[in-house]
Amino acid sequence: MRSIGVFGGAFNPPHLGHQRLARYFADKLHFARIRVIPSFIPVHKSSADLADAEDRLQMCRLLFEEDDRFEVSDMEIKRGGKSYTYDTLLQIGKELPDHQIFLILGSDMLNSFHTWYRYEDILKIATLCVASREPGLLLDENPFGAIVADLPALEVSSTAIRQAVAAGEDITPFTGEKVAKYVKDRGLYLA
């Protein structure tokens, strides 16, 4: 059976930590491809400083374009409304019935996974893949049978990047040149 990784999120903005995590699982689990899916309206994140969905989609394309295993999808943006992972996985399962689905998450999302819409049904559709986002944060409990990444945490977050932009700092070390240029050219995260 072929396998596909699904990596969704606000990607506000996407950064090298996202890229590193997705590549790790692509390599470890030999995914034929990984579908990167920016949410239209994130359910689990504040949308106070959320960049437009089309901007986040374009930044994801810039970040992941050099690795042909990645496909950046606008499926949640086209669907509109709140972006529920269950609905997305159900759609992918119908499109690719011969694929095993793996859902890639940061440990922050795993810790609240039990609050997700239809989380038990998500577990019937997909296997969870998770990595720590903070140094020293261990997954003491793994009640959902997630595959845990064995790689050191990378101290980078979209929140910190937005704060750096607002402070006039260079974000290239965290996003790469293309995303940093896009953020600057579009005047994102300044207010």
- Residue ranges of the chain with pLDDT lower than 70? 45-47, 132-141, 153-154
Position 170 scores a pLDDT of 97
pLDDT for residue 30: 94
pLDDT at position 23 is 94
pLDDT at 132: 65
pLDDT in tens, 88-102: 999 999 999 999 999
| Token pair recorded at residue 164 | 């750096």
Instruction: Identify whether the C-beta of residue 34 lies closer than 8 Å to the C-beta of residue 6.
Output: yes
- How many other CB atoms are there within 10 angstroms of residue 1's CB atom? 5
Tell whether pTM > 0.85: yes
Cα-based distances in Å from 117 to 26, 61, 100, 112, 188: 26, 27, 21, 11, 30
User: How far separated are the first and last CA of the chain, in Å rounded?
Assistant: 47
